[in-house]
Amino acid sequence: MSPLELALVAALFCLLSGIPALWPRVPLFTGRRISGGFMAAGALAGLGAALWVLLKDGPGGAYALAWHFPMGELAFRLDPLSAFFFIPLFIVATCISLYGCGYCSTTPDNRGESLVTFYFGVAVAAIVMLLLAANGITLLFFWEAMALGTFLAMCLEHDKPEVSRAGLHYLVASHGTTISLFVLFALSPTMGGSLFPPPGSLDPNGSAATAILLVALLGFGIKAGIMPLHVWLPGAHANAPSNISALMSGIVLKLGIYGLIRVLSFFGQPPLWWGALFLCLGIVSAVAGVLFAIGQHDIKRLLAYHSIENIGIIVMAMGVALCGLATGNRIMFVLGMAAALLHVVNHALFKSLLFLGAGIVVHGTGTRDIDRMGGLARALPITSAAFLTGSVAICGLPPLNGFVSEFLLYLGMFTGFATSPGSSAAFLALAVPALALTGGLALACFVKVYGTVFLGLPRSPLPPRHEHPAATGAMGILAVCCLLIGVLPFSATRILEPVIAALFPQRDALLPSIQTTAGLVGLSIGAAILFLLVCLLTVFYINRLKAKPLEETGTWDCGYAAPSAAMEYTASSFAGMLVGIFAAILRPERHEPATNKLFPGPERFESHVPEVVLDKGILPFLGAVDRRLALIRRLQNGQLNSYILYIFVALIAVLSLSYFY
């Protein structure tokens, strides 16, 4: 059996994984366990196929297959790029399936959950086939299947207005992507024909290449959530079930990145402005994404904006790689592309971990409002530790995986800044401080989230101390993966290098080794020492606490006679200063109590950061268009005589035009 056939078997197992949960005579929990077994079997087959291609075959490994139909040909190909994206897909999908066994175990009679399991299997199977697509028809077919499966899974509570609204936005954005892909394949018949063109076979110069790039950026950028094409993302991630939010953020967004990398690989040496464009889009997405995240009160919406931030980091890394290609700087190219690909995996791991942890928090407290939480580390200790691991990883701190990919990106930018021409260095000079600002703001944001949610006094009744082993086990697997990549970063280079070499084979000179160029062995030693030091200090601190008698006393009460949890700093008050500094971008909306009354009564204070692009831009514009077009609705009066008159007038107009022209 070839790796491609093994990958098709994996897709079949993923598709079948959703069916047991639909069996009417099987309890939901039992059906989910059987579904998890199918998903695990598919993951083993898919990971086996991916590692076969990446480790055994190397850059030249590729397997093709075609199924002929009267309407066209479905062509499939497993190459190093597809195999690489299999790795985060199957790891995350397996953990989500395992997590699902415990996520809603308290509601065994809710058959809607079984539908989510079924649609989840359909979406994962469609993603597998999408990654194997070797022509435009196949890509479009499975792209639509993936979008439909994800849409149905996220709209579990479609009776709620905010969920149906988010689903509508997602559906409109998905159709926008589909239309863009139709245009993309129409612009380049070789891309929509029998097979995709070989890497490096298209000329990047000229108006046709520019049009292809811009349309690809529009279509795949919508799916990836690149700002300002992100308008569907916050609502969809916030209102979907948390396991589906993990799928959307960890995997579905990466399909946009996959499409961009695939299209870029078709071209030869790109012009420099391509790299500059990607750098600028990445800077805007990263900085604006983390800024909007800081102003959020909804824990899942906050994580959604951090997805935009991390997509921006990936796009920045792609920009560095394109600048390296344009200037012939092979080290800069390799480091940039390695950072982009590795951050795809890293973000899939730690963002899925964070969404799964947020799901347990929301499930236990019954709210997504961070300001109503607090002290949850006592009731949810394992979830607290897992969420802390994901928070450290997403902030790019050692010894976890987020640090490694951002380290490669910094190294690539500094290398290009030192060795590339002035025009390239000018763009990199903007990217370096932007990435540093993004990291600092991300750290501030997760200090706010973790401190407010898990530490301090509870602002509402604590949930029962119960964490399902399946859910905590899934988070544990993701946390261990984050740690392994952070402590053993050189282990990832064997997987990255075949992908980079296969994507750009026109570089006839040998590409530099990532491990040697980045000094990953030294980085690994430092990360391991830091990890051991943290473990030793933690054990020492715990033993020291156990050796002392336990005393309970109040914290500093600022002079208040009867302090309460309501007097604690909230997430809003913690972020208030940063929101005020960037108020010109965030446009916060505030409702402040009146202070000019002689005898003031009960008052309230509220602050909210809206979705500026959607609420202040797109929706008002569409509303204005709708009001203008309302005049035309008068023509639709329901009277047959009027419609016959319209047909007669149109016929006269057409005949008149044909007479004169």
Query: What is the model's pLDDT at position 47?
Result: 94
Whether residue 169 contacts residue 49, with contact meaning beta carbons closer than 8 Å, is answered with no
DSSP symbol at 159: T
Segment 246-278, tens digit of pLDDT: 999 999 999 999 999 999 998 888 899 999 999
Query: What is the model's pLDDT at position 105?
Result: 45
Task: Read off the pLDDT band of 507 (50, 70, 90).
Answer: low
Task: Read off the pLDDT band of 142 (50, 70, 90).
Answer: very high
Dist CA 393 CA 526 (whole Å)? 16
* pLDDT (average), residues 309-331: 92
Task: Read off the pLDDT band of 494 (50, 70, 90).
Answer: confident
Query: What is the model's pLDDT at position 73?
Result: 75
Of 383, 379, 573, nearest in space to 458 by CA: 379
What's the whole-number average pLDDT of the chain? 85
Task: Read off the pLDDT band of 366 (50, 70, 90).
Answer: confident
Segment 279-293, tens digit of pLDDT: 999 999 999 999 999
Report angle CA 354, 585, 291 to the nearest 5 degrees. Answer: 20
Q: Which amino acid is at 461?
A: P
Of 289, 281, 227, nearest in space to 582 by CA: 289
Task: Read off the pLDDT band of 571 (50, 70, 90).
Answer: confident
Question: In the numeric block, which tokens belong to residue 283?
Answer: 């800077």
Residue 264 parent element (H or E): helix 253-265
Residue 68 parent element (H or E): strand 63-69
Give buried/exposed letters for 126-146 (b at 16+ CB in 10 A, else e): bbbbbbbbbbbbbbbbbbbbb
Segment 17-53, tens digit of pLDDT: 888 877 767 666 677 788 888 999 999 999 999 999 9
Is residue 381 pLDDT above 60, yes or no? yes
Dist CA 493 CA 33 (whole Å)? 35
Query: What is the model's pLDDT at position 511?
Result: 67
Dist CA 427 CA 320 (whole Å)? 9
Cβ burial, residue 557 (10 Å; 0-12/13-18/19+): exposed
Dist CA 64 CA 66 (whole Å)? 7
DSSP symbol at 19: S
Report angle CA 24, 238, 382 to the nearest 5 degrees. Answer: 80
Is residue 109 pLDDT above 50, yes or no? no
Task: Read off the pLDDT band of 145 (50, 70, 90).
Answer: very high
Of 516, 541, 491, 526, nearest in space to 399 by CA: 526
Query: What is the model's pLDDT at position 280?
Result: 93
Segment 427-481, tens digit of pLDDT: 888 899 999 999 999 999 999 999 999 987 787 777 776 788 889 999 999 999 9
Task: Read off the pLDDT band of 107 (50, 70, 90).
Answer: very low
Of 398, 410, 417, 423, nearest in space to 317 by CA: 410
First-residue to last-residue Cα distance in the chain: 64
Dist CA 219 CA 178 (whole Å)? 7
Cβ burial, residue 516 (10 Å; 0-12/13-18/19+): exposed
Query: Which range (165-169, 180-184, 187-191, 286-290) has the least confidence?
Result: 187-191
Residue 66 parent element (H or E): strand 63-69
Query: What is the model's pLDDT at position 83?
Result: 94
Is residue 106 pLDDT above 60, yes or no? no
Of 235, 229, 118, nearest in space to 170 by CA: 235
Dist CA 195 CA 372 (whole Å)? 54
For the chain, what percent of residues have pLDDT higher than 90? Answer: 41
Segment 518-566, tens digit of pLDDT: 677 777 788 888 888 888 888 888 888 778 777 766 666 666 666 666 6
Is residue 423 pLDDT above 50, yes or no? yes
Is residue 191 pLDDT above 80, yes or no? no
Query: Which range (137-146, 413-422, 447-456, 483-492) has the least confidence?
Result: 413-422
Is residue 215 pLDDT above 90, yes or no? yes
Question: In the numeric block, which tokens belong to residue 552?
Answer: 């309970």
Dist CA 248 CA 173 (whole Å)? 14
Global pTM reads 0.90
Report angle CA 198, 204, 206 to the nearest 5 degrees. Answer: 135
